[in-house]
Amino acid sequence: MSAAVRVRGLARRYTLKGVLNGVDLDVAPGEFVALLGRSGSGKSTLLRALAGLDHEAEGTGEIVVPERTSVVFQDARLLPWMRLIDNVVLGLGGREARAQGQRALAEVGLAGRELDWPHELSGGEQQRVALARALVRAPELLLADEPFGALDALTRVRMHALLRRLSEAHDPAVLLVTHDIDEAILLADRIVVLDDGRLSADIAIRSSDRKEQAPVVRERLLATLSLGAR
């Protein structure tokens, strides 16, 4: 099966020091990959490169991603002058667009809120709209850059369950950037660690015994991240 994401020798540079220094990464269709790393390790730079949003960076390398790619950021980035349904279907053409938007909002638990304004929603609800906007386009690849980082603990737990359910229902390849080890273990099929501009660990998670694996995987990730900090 061909990869949904193929990255080879990816280098990106904003200053004299490279942020990415030869990254190789494959993500299979339907695979959920979590990308961990310390602050400044290049996680968001890698995601932005995959999304085609790193116009200010210099670099080289091969990037192959699906045409249908959606991005969810930590900030929901809803347009405040547009109602929720219009935010969800923004740029989506065709007669069925609004019906698709309604179904997407219902899927994230916001049925009947189509005509609300973004300021009327909580932070968690705004992130639900952002997920609906991403998934209504039936992406083959979903890129998520710390989408729950600004949410309170209880809302994060609820959003974890929602993202996992939606990813299983829609089956895109997912690359989730996070700094939270437990979040990565809970959600991902595979965890990769970015350190000093390169991938330093690649750990598969078996869904059948995720809880049993968690302590060992957590210990290995903590050791990898600690070594990278030296």
Looking at residues 117-145, what average pLDDT do you find?
A: 95
CA dist 175 and 79 (Å) reads 25
Say if CB 9 and CB 61 are below 8 A apart: yes
Res 162: pLDDT: 94
pLDDT bracket for residue 13 (50, 70, 90)? confident
In the DSSP assignment, the letter for residue 39 is T
Say if CB 191 and CB 160 are below 8 A apart: no
DSSP code per residue over 47-72: HHHHHT--TT-EEEEEEE--SSEEEE
pLDDT bracket for residue 213 (50, 70, 90)? confident
Res 118: pLDDT: 97
What is the reported pTM? 0.92
- Top-tier CATH class for 5-68+139-228: alpha beta
CATH number for the domain running over 78-138: 1.20.1580.10
- The 10s digit of each residue's pLDDT in 46-60 is 999 999 988 777 788
Question: In the chain, what are the domain boundaries?
Answer: 5-68+139-228, 78-138
203 pLDDT more than 80: yes
- Pairing outcome for strands 190-195 and 198-204: antiparallel
3 pLDDT more than 90: no
